[in-house]
Amino acid sequence: MMGASVKGPKMYVALATTDEEGSKGSTRLHMDMADGVNIMVHSEPRPDGSQGVAAWDLFRAEDADRLRRFLKRRFGANGQHDPILSQQYYLDAELRKELYDDYGIKSHRVYQRPGDAVFVPAGCAHQVRI
């Protein structure tokens, strides 16, 4: 049936990444049409024995158009697709600094541990790294 929505919970499995220049993150920058609640049920310990966490970068919905302009300018994205919805980009620490310096847009970083829930409002671009 066309236009049918998926019902019930979804599960995501992600591998650890860094925030170093060139990182692709665990989940690239994207935006959802509906509100989402994301619950972390498990994480592997880090090599140093500390608990693994997910680092979420959440962007305000009202910054979406300027964020798109940044992505198009920075990556040469053509006008044929939405650079947020394309899920092609992860903004590492250097790119987030450039975004802030050039456009005044700052992500809101949330650290999620097992048992924590992260609420992402519809229309808010976000990305994750584990």
**Domain range list for the chain:** 41-129
Q: What are 52-84's pLDDT values in tens digits?
A: 999 999 999 999 999 999 999 999 866 668 999
Look at the block and give the residue holding tokens 């509100």.
35
Average pLDDT of the residues of the chain: 89
CA distance linking residue 8 with residue 10, whole number of Å: 7
pLDDT digits (tens, 9 = 90+) for 93-123: 999 999 999 999 999 999 999 999 999 999 9
pLDDT at residue 1, rounded to an integer: 43
Closest to 122 (Cα-Cα) out of 3, 57, 4, 31: 31
pLDDT at 25: 81
Please, how many CA atoms are within 13 Å of residue 120, restricted to the half-sphere of its CB? 25
pTM of the model: 0.86
Tokens of 62: 């009202």
